[in-house]
Amino acid sequence: MLFALVADDTDDPQKRLDARSDHLQYLDDLGERLVLAGPFFNDEGAMTGSFVVIEADDREQAEAFFAQDPYMMRGVFARYAIRPWKIAVNKSGGR
């Protein structure tokens, strides 16, 4: 089952920058469990949040995986939601 993390950052962009390399390594270490991930941006091009989709057996397991993400552990997000998600159409083609 797929689960999406939709998160908005705090007003401190340095938190994201300080945790970014560890966050990216954590995502890479998820291997095939990671479906896709990327930041949200504001109109000025600054990162303001995240969208991460993983495969997990159930919500509890998804929450446990997301809880170990360095962005979560270091307080990068002001608010977030974890929701079941499904790919309905995929034309990304690796973009």
- Reported as a single tens digit per residue, the pLDDT across 26-85 is 999 999 999 999 999 999 999 999 999 999 999 999 999 999 999 999 999 999 999 999
For the domain spanning 2-85, the CATH number is 3.30.70.1060
Nearest Cα residue to 67 out of 16, 77, 15, 35 = 77
Which helix (H) or strand (E) covers residue 34, if one does? strand 34-41
Read off the pLDDT band of 95 (50, 70, 90): confident
Q: Where does the chain have alpha helices with state H?
A: 13-29, 59-67, 70-73
Tokens matching residue 55: 């495969």
Q: What angle do CA 44, 48, 49 make, to 5 degrees?
A: 145
Query: What is the Cα Rg of the chain in Å?
Result: 13
What are the residue boundaries of the structural domains of the chain, listed by start?
2-85
Residues 5-18: tens digit of each pLDDT: 999 999 999 999 99
Q: What is the pTM assigned to this prediction?
A: 0.93
| pLDDT score for 92 | 83
